[in-house]
Amino acid sequence: MRSVIPCIDANDAIALVQGELDGVLAMQVHAHVEQCTCCRELVGVLAKMPTVRRAPTIDTAVATLPFAHGAPDDDVDAGALIAERYEIRSVLGSGAMGVVYEAHDRRLDRIVALKRVRGMRSPAAHERLVSEARTMAQLSHPSIVTVFDAGIANGAAYIAMELVDGETLRAYLATPRSWRELVAIFGQTARALGAAHTAGIVHGDFKPDNVLVDRAGRARVGDFGLARAVANADDDRGAAGTPAYMAPELLAGARANAASDQFALCVSLYEALHGARPFAGRTVDELRVQHARGVVVTVRPAALRRVLERGLAAEPDARFGSLDALADALAAIPKRRAVVVGVGASLLGVAASTVIAVAVTRAGITTEPAVDPCIAAADAELAESWNADRAAAIERAFAGVDVAYARPVGVAATKTLGDYARRWRDQHVSVCRTTQLLVGMDERMSCLYRKRRHVDALVDRLLHVDAASVAAVPDAVAALPSVEECREVSPLAERVELPTEPAAAARYRRLSDELDTIEVARDFAEFDAGLARLTRLLPEVDVLGVRALRARYRYVHGELLEHLGKLDEAAAVLEASLADAEASRDRRTKLRALLRLYVVAITHRDRAAIDRWSRLAEAAVDGSGDPPAERAYLLTAQGMQAYQIDDYPTAGAKFEQALAIVRREPDGDGELGLLLNLGDVAYMQERDADAKRYWSAALARAQSQYGELHPMVGKLLVNTALSEHQIGDLAASIAHLERALAIYRATVGERHFLVGNALRRLAESEVDLPDDQADAAKIDDHFRTAAEILDAAYGKPHPDTADTLLRHAMYAARRGEHARALALYQRSLAMRAAIGGADDPALFKAVHGVGAELIELGRPREAIGELRRALALHGKSAAATIQAGAFIERDLADALAMIGRRGEAKALRQQALAHLRAAKGDFSTEIAALERATAR
């Protein structure tokens, strides 16, 4: 056989039967045949065909073939007599080393199981096997198949054993069993192996196929030492047995011993509990790698998990001192005090999937939960990270935070985690059911393990929430990594090389887990703390030398630097992450690094870098099978790039495409941000109705994600009010602003800048109310209070404060309060100049206001200088409009006319008329007034 593939073809099967495979490949094929029904049937048929020459070792390769009828060994027929004592009656099945018959022991008049052992090529082999069997005959234990006799007859060794009325342990496990039933059965087998070890006998090939369960439900271990005896009879290699159950030391060539039997028993117990073996390697080399990585045991209770973790230790010395000690540990697992009929159903937000079955025992009728092994494994692993106790602890933690919105945020976080847990569980069950015997399970389960570890880290952080961090909780919970991407992990993808030495593997696992904690700190916007922790661990990561891990660390490092505004450093670190990911064949980190480099380039406005990374990022997404999360991220970045250069149609189209993807994915994150972006695009395009539609949808999403009282909901209420103001729905705008103010005052206090900005927006909406509805004193109070709050909150000149003063001045001017308006314009102007300098083009509005009020106060000569300055600044401003320039020209013309310079005034008025006629909007009143003034 040239390679191990999902199924073997007829030629490969014949090569196996004819003994044309070397020892390692034979073991690999055996491992596959043991798992694959189709291949077992193919090999079984070929083994019985007289035209196919069967190899002496074929019995090892077809050890698990379920021959219910028909003898694969045609030279022994019913009625034949073996050793002049055992009369063959029928074939019971094909055992690990030969054929098992039902036979009549004429000497003692009893029915026995007679195994004729083949696969040995020398008399010494037979003698060693007989010696092993006779030693077993001296051992009496209720959970060991009794050996009556052994010898050599008709050229083959035979063993006469007790005939057990029952089924193999593997067949027994095909029916769902409670974990207590499994612990009881494996406790019996552990006692049996312990007794054999005390007598100096090692099994060497323990697996569920070599254990029988009788009608009374008692385990009976058989085939002690047979595989080892056959293997050792013709050469001095100690390792024999089934690779999937063999301890690491056996795969390295060591002899079987009590510690390796213990390992094989724990592999079998893990398989019974999880529905799959702990080490999923297809070849001996892959098994060695899996052993070195270690295994994550997820069963409950914790006492059972600890037993398995110790019994499956890669180092023999780390296992239990004996099988009796292991059996004692199993027996010491606490007894159940009450029948449990659900597995955290209310917590997960789904109906309990546990099925109650009725088990009839000799003691009477009892109920036990009979669970699909894949469901049981998923529930057990999930319970380590998310369970009722942890959910209740989170609710208690939030209840203790003295912030108005803490409790609803905690409730929302718990619900989101419950929904996420349900999706994680469903994905785990799906992976287990579809891939447990195929290539790719290990990669997918590793992916799911990483997602669960992120939940662990997030829950740990939520349990220590405080007033300073509670606002960030919804964003951190929304950032939970998608479980759907684990479904997309390709079993044919290149595998990331991981450490195989046990100590290095343990360090790798610890450092990988630490990274989840750092990522949670990032999601809480605790960038400095996350960076400090990551920096402390980087030397360990570098010393370990696993480039895949270093790629992940550098990626998160780059993210943190970007969030802190250190864009050049971020780009350098992300490029290093990209190189490590490429070298270690970590495709996911490579893709993430390329996308992040693109975003950093956009933020940096580095045109060359944008062109480079945009092409590479798009090519990487295309070449990775178009993963939805990464495609949505790419589209969002392309939208950001277009928005940055005022290409609003392209930006809107990209954001819409990203939103459609996010909404299709159950774990999709980013819907809120995309709705906000689309609202911004519509607003900048003066599509105010569309802006309101997007921002209203964002508001509804935020209320679901953050709860009703979170400051983010207040911000979205303000945005929605802004769009409503623009379309003239003043009542709705004012209602939303008042609600936002109530949220802010309850959550961040009366003097917060958010309160100041909301008051300013409220006053602006109230200004546009009809005169009979507007309360001038109230509007003045809102403007004045807003400016005071903002000035105190910022503690220095700020554009928000300057703009509030400007809007208040405009309102005072409209009411004819010109002295007051002039003072407010001058305050706004001074503050703007302190921020951007005396030549800042953004000053033109305040300078224009000062000039206009000087005219109203009868000071035209002073006004002319201010208005000329306003016109010059307007010409440099990116925010300038045609109509704004026309109004400055109009006011300057009025000031010139007031001092007798009528020619200049007329020319300016004609210029202003031309500009107003070209401007967008209805300026008919202003145009008519200018025409009259020009005609005078």
Q: What are the φ/ψ torsions at residue 158 (nearest 5 degrees)? A: -135, 155
Note whether 282 and 4 are within 8 A (CB): yes
3-state helix, strand, coil in the chain (%, to 5): 65, 5, 30
DSSP 368: E
- C-alpha distances in angstroms, 367 versus 178, 304, 357, 359, 360? 10, 21, 6, 6, 9
CA distance 343 to 384: 12
Q: Are 381 and 452 in contact (CB under 8 A)?
A: yes
C-alpha angle 128-133-139 in degrees, rounded to nearest 5: 140
**Rounded CA separation 635/94 (Å):** 61
The HSE-up count of residue 775 (CA atoms within 13 Å, CB side) is 7
Degrees to nearest 5, angle at CA 258 with 253 and 262: 95
Q: CA 794 to CA 813: how far, in whole Å? A: 27
Rounded Cα distance, 509 and 598, in Å: 30
| HSE-up of residue 104 (Cα within 13 Å, Cβ side) | 8
Which DSSP category does 144 fall into?
B
The catalytic residue among 73, 205, 209, 680 is: 205
Any catalytic annotation for residue 205?
A: yes
Cα separation, 767 vs 769, whole angstroms: 6
Q: With H, G, I as helix, E, B as strand and everything else as coil, classify residue 630.
A: helix
3-state secondary structure of 55: coil
Q: What is the rounded CA–CA span in Å between residue 148 and residue 138?
A: 9
Cα 369–chain centre separation: 29
- Count the Cβ atoms, other than its own, within 10 Å of residue 766: 21
Q: How far is the CA of 258 from the CAs of 205, 608, 746, in angstroms? A: 11, 65, 68
- Rounded alpha-carbon distances, angstroms, from residue 275 to 374, 842, 879: 6, 69, 66
Q: Specify whether the CB–CB gap between 180 and 313 falls below 8 A.
A: no
Helix, coil or strand: residue 365: strand
H-helix or E-strand containing 158?
A: strand 156-162
Q: Residue 242's closest CA among 258, 259, 218, 263? A: 263
d(CA 105, CA 108): 6
In sequence order, what are the beta bridge partners of 166? 214
Backbone angles phi, psi at 102, to 5 degrees: -85, 130
Q: How far is CA 472 from the centre of its chain?
A: 19
CA angle in degrees (0–180, nearest 5) for 831-840-715: 60
Show the tokens assigned to 138: 């001296």
Gap between the Cα atoms of 323 and 225, Å rounded? 16
Which helix (H) or strand (E) is 473 found in, with range? Answer: helix 473-478
Q: Number of helices (H) and strands (E), helices first, in the chain?
A: 41, 11
3-class secondary-structure state, position 211: strand
Which residue's entry shows tokens 């990561």? 541
Which single residue is written with the structure tokens 């079955």? 357
Tell me the CB-side half-sphere exposure of residue 155, using CA atoms within 13 A.
Answer: 4
| Whole-Å CA distances, 918 to 250, 922, 933 | 89, 11, 19
Residue 103 belongs to what H/E stretch?
strand 98-105
Active site residues: 205
